[in-house]
Chains A and B, each alone.
Chain A
Amino acid sequence: MTTLDLTGVLCPMNWVRARLELERMRPGERLELVLDPGEALESVPRSARDEGHRVTVDGRHVTIEKA
């Protein structure tokens, strides 16, 4: 599983980077993100869900399963 450490990366650049990584993956593959508390953790998982991906959040670790 690919991991992107997006600590210190602000919105919307964190979602830009996650999205480009997702674009390179196949459906069903998983991407792990490490996000800052606050806006990043609030908005990135929501953006991923809005695009149909399955998202699980564990603390600052967010796992996205590509739709």
Chain B
Amino acid sequence: MTLSDEELERYSRQLVLPEWSGAAQERLKEASVIVVGAGALGSPVATYLAAAGVGQIGVVDEDVVELSNLARQPLHFTPDIGLPKAGNAVVKLSALNPEVQVDQYPVRLEAGNAEAIVMGATLVVDCSDSFDTRYLVNDACCAQGVALVEAGVLGFAGLVMSIRPGESACYRCAFPTQPVDAPSCREAGVLGAMAGLVGTIQALEAIKLLTGAGEPLLDTILQIDGATMAFTRVATERISDCPACARVPAASQSS
């Protein structure tokens, strides 16, 4: 796979990075990434992945754009109210970078379709807003051996972790049980810039996992306190009898 003159110019500022290379850019172009959720986290994630030149992006979201989304979901604009988010993401991302193939999955990710959606992907970025979906995405990625970037944001608090199933702790290893009294985003509130920060870190982690540049947050949970700007790395490790990843062979993913 070679890059056209237009692609060289489009990606020139990352192609000159010492940590980057033509091969790294081609790895992005060959990658297929599923972004689960086109909301507060999914907006920056999908935007930066499309801008950076990920070849194929699938956006999973069953919702339509609402007025109350616009303060934190910069992929969606006021005239887009009422449009399906996944379809709107295709329009916006294709306009940003026509080199990228963007596919829409206007469905809710559920137990019945999770593995089918994840199957064949190089990497998944979980930008969902519920614990149920997060465990479903984690388990599907573990079953398929697909690399995953997990994140959550609530108020001024955020966390990010990267997962290579079979090699590093999965979300279920780090959080074996769902918190019983966790407030939903609707109740606790989300600040757009805070979600943007966490989503941007997710995008960077995805790019690192896909290209091999840098050191992803494997076996590490990054906790972010946006109020004080404290960034804390917390070590985590695989659980030998984890129901999601214990039996996943290492290095099953392609990148």
A complexed with B? yes
Question: Are A47 and B16 in contact, CB atoms less than 8 angstroms apart?
Answer: yes
Instruction: Tell me which residues across on chain A come within 8 A of B22, comparing CB atoms.
Output: 19-20, 23
Asked if A20 and B18 make an inter-chain contact with CB atoms under 8 angstroms apart, the answer reads no
**Shortest beta-carbon distance, A37 to chain B, in Å?**
21
List residues 1-36 of chain A with CB under 8 A from any CB of chain B.
Answer: 12-13, 15-17, 19-20, 23
Give 3 closest A-B pairs by Cβ, nearest first: A20-B22, A16-B15, A12-B16
List 26 A–B pairs whose Cβ atoms lie within 8 Å, in order of A's numbering: A12-B12, A12-B13, A12-B16, A13-B8, A13-B9, A13-B12, A15-B16, A16-B8, A16-B12, A16-B15, A16-B16, A17-B8, A19-B15, A19-B16, A19-B21, A19-B22, A20-B3, A20-B8, A20-B15, A20-B22, A23-B21, A23-B22, A23-B23, A47-B16, A50-B18, A51-B18
Most chain A CB within a 10 A radius of its CB, from B9, B16, B18: B16
Which A residues are within 8 Å of any B CB, using their own CB? 12-13, 15-17, 19-20, 23, 47, 50-51
- Closest Cβ–Cβ distance, residue B16 to chain A (whole Å): 5
Residues of B within 8 A of A (CB): 3, 8-9, 12-13, 15-16, 18, 21-23
Give the dominant DSSP class at A's interface.
helix
Q: Provide the residues of chain A in CB contact with B3, threshold 8 Å.
A: 20
Q: Across the interface, which residues of B come within 8 angstroms of A13, CB to CB?
A: 8-9, 12
Chain A residues positioned under 8 Å from B23 (CB to CB): 23
Complex Cα spacing A50 to B17, Å: 12
Q: Tell me the smallest distance from the CB of B24 to a CB of chain A, in Å.
A: 10
Of chain A, the residue at the smallest CB distance from B2 is: A20
